[in-house]
Amino acid sequence: MNYTKEHAAYLRAIRIHGWTVGLCRILVLVLLLGFWELGARLGWFDVFILSSPSRVLAAIGRLWGEGSLFLHVGVTLYETIMGFLLGTGLGILLAVLLWWLPFVNEVMDPYLVVLNALPKIALGPVLIVWIGAGMGSIIVMAVLISLVVTTVTVLSGFTAAAAEKQFLMRTLGAKKGQTFEKVVLPAGVPHMMSALKISVGMSWVGVIVGEYLVSKSGLGYLIVYGGQVFKLDLVMASVVILCVLAALMYGAVALLEKRFRK
């Protein structure tokens, strides 16, 4: 493919801008970690409370040496992925069903609003009684938190997607399935991707909240345990690992979005 000089310069400027943004992000992270470590070493704050990067790495090293690091990370990651997949999958299916049945959508609309506003942590004790104090209740908690958000986000995309094109399809005698396949679903993909991004964070919240309540393993359990015995290095190490895992999971969704948009 032949490009004009102006077009080639424009593409080069876009690449340079992307590299610059990436380097600035790395620089900000390095500066924050450097300031954190420097402040700890110079006594600007209490390392017992705020810890430091070197102490966090030492705590992660101890978990590695004990052989428990991958156990706790694996448990939390499995629960989060299961909650994410089930929550988003069921949420998208429910959104399709509500779009397909407008009367049911009108009936269920206020209930979706209430469920979306309800703090799901309030259902924690009930889930423990119903399902038991185990991994199942934690996954269900993650599903509940991401399910309603996904449903509301995707449904709003379906109902607002190219309304004039939907009307044109009905005017031309298209069946509902054809309208959904040719107009609604393609136009709703960006909203699905947005729902996935939101659901990533919601799934992590649900799992950590569930592990606070019932788990005997996982990163949420380590945070609670570290706080109870005043091992705040362990707490900060668990939080750092959570940040890394959440960023990787969000990055995977962003790559998926980029592929679908192409």
Q: What is the pLDDT of residues 123-165, one digit of tens each?
A: 767 777 777 777 777 888 888 888 888 888 888 777 776 666 7
CA distances from 45 to 34, 58, 76, 166 (A): 14, 19, 31, 60
Same domain (yes/no): 53, 9: no
50-75 confidence digits (pLDDT tens): 778 888 888 888 888 888 888 888 88
Prediction pTM value: 0.77
Same domain (yes/no): 18, 128: no
203-252 confidence digits (pLDDT tens): 888 888 888 777 777 888 888 888 888 888 888 888 888 888 888 888 88
Give the pLDDT score at 163. 66
87-113 confidence digits (pLDDT tens): 888 988 988 888 888 788 888 888 887
Same domain (yes/no): 130, 25: no
Number of domain units in the chain: 2
Same domain (yes/no): 20, 109: no
Same domain (yes/no): 126, 247: yes
Q: Are 69 and 60 in contact (CB under 8 A)?
A: yes
Same domain (yes/no): 87, 151: yes
pLDDT at 2 over 60: no
> The CATH number of the domain where 232 resides is what?
1.10.3720.10
Same domain (yes/no): 124, 229: yes
Pairwise CA distance, residues 209 & 104, whole Å: 32
Q: Nearest 5 degrees, angle CA 50-CA 54-CA 55?
A: 55
Task: Give the tokens for residue 121.
Answer: 């942590």
Contacts of 192 (CB under 8 A, 6+ apart): 92, 154, 157
pLDDT at 1 over 60: no
By residue range, what is the domain housing residue 125?
Answer: 49-261
Give the pLDDT score at 27. 92
